[in-house]
Structure 1
């Protein structure tokens, strides 16, 4: 079985919490998780670590590397309880809306990650 490979920033507590949620939902083992903050992790050919840490990426079973909202939808399609949202994302205009929202989130991600770290008693 071909799996979807999920590339995430393990140094980001928000990202790690989301990935932990996906891990719990992945009952079929359809997802493989790669923490790109670890320098020893293998990366997809032609993509640098900084790009993978800056945006969410997933390598789909068809071999296509997807980022942003498309990557999330690729992951959601594999998870019970999330497949419906993946189908909704296929409706006209929804993926573009999700990508726009994701782009609005990206600049505030470092601030939110810092708040999460502080709330857990760890200063970054």
Structure 2
């Protein structure tokens, strides 16, 4: 699991996960670090700082809500929850939880003076707040009037 070592929420969750009984061993690597870049050379490391990223033992890459679900699946006491979250209605809940965490993370990161991209199209800029860019809308072509 790649996590933002400069984010209080991320390090808290990493510590919580490390204390849970695991059915599948979890390893925690600071996102964007030299260790992460050496271990996962094909990954877009800038993106790993924007949203939670989990790399499976077979090289599978999970991001956002799917990453949280696969992480919970690795925990002995949370595998049932992971199965529920993997359903269509559960995935909507998981995405909402990820967005809420990203919003909190972005707000706390912004207080430390850093512009933060939270994934799922949301960007937080401490100068003017949250912005949403739909997928494929990198220009003003998708801007609302």
Which entry has the higher C-alpha Rg, 1 or 2? 2
- State the Cα deviation string for residues 48-103 of structure 1 (Å, max 9, x = none): 22200100000123421000010011111111221121011122331133224423
* Partner residue, 2:20: 25
Q: CA RMSD in A?
A: 2.3
Structure 1: tracts of 5 or more residues without a match: 1-5, 116-124
Q: Distance in 2 between matches of 1:60 and 1:21?
A: 20
TM-score computed with the length of structure 2 as normaliser: 0.64
Change (3 A) 1:40 1:30: closer
Matches within 5 A, 1:71-82: 71-82=67-78
Structure 2: tracts of 5 or more residues without a match: 112-145
Q: Report if the CA contact (8 A) 1:36-1:43 is conserved.
A: no
Match of 1:85 among 81, 85, 101: 81
